[in-house]
Amino acid sequence: MKHNDLNERMYKEHIMELYKSPNNFGELKNPTHRHTEYNSFCGDEVTINLLVNNAKIKDAKFSGSGCVISTVSSSLLTNKIKGMKVEEIKKLSKVDMLKLLKIKINPARIKCVLLPLEAVMGALR
């Protein structure tokens, strides 16, 4: 087995573990910002709760129901934005989300990857 194949298999296992018990899943008690995005194509729904203080994200959580990709993207994104400045977050893009996931995504699933980012942007609007 080649090294890359092993790494990819291990990373896919990591993704499944994150799906089963995602980081930051749940509700914040007193969010300053909150927004829900819905993917009508597949039925995924992500609600982002943010606690913003001094133009920085102090805490972030997500809730909702979705596929492996949208759930894992939500988990990874909420980890990434904690401690970030709001202005930096507003510059995040599709490319940043794909880098977070580190796996090849079928073009039909891009919406699943971007759903949590859309919810974060909606919350910060």
pLDDT tens profile 61-115: 999 999 999 999 999 999 999 999 999 999 999 999 999 998 888 888 999 999 9
Residue that the structure tokens 């980081």 belong to: 23
What domain range includes position 76? 3-124
- 2 confidence band (pLDDT: 50, 70, 90): low
Q: What is the CATH number of the domain that holds 91?
A: 3.90.1010.10
Helix (H) / strand (E) element for 50: namely strand 45-53
- CA 68, CA 57: separation in Å to the nearest integer? 25
Inter-CA distances, 33 with 4, 50, 123, Å: 40, 5, 5
**pLDDT score of 41 more than 90:** no
Residue 35: other Cβ atoms inside 10 A: 18
Residue type, 117: L
- CA 122, CA 106: separation in Å to the nearest integer? 25
Q: Is the pTM of this model over 0.85?
A: yes
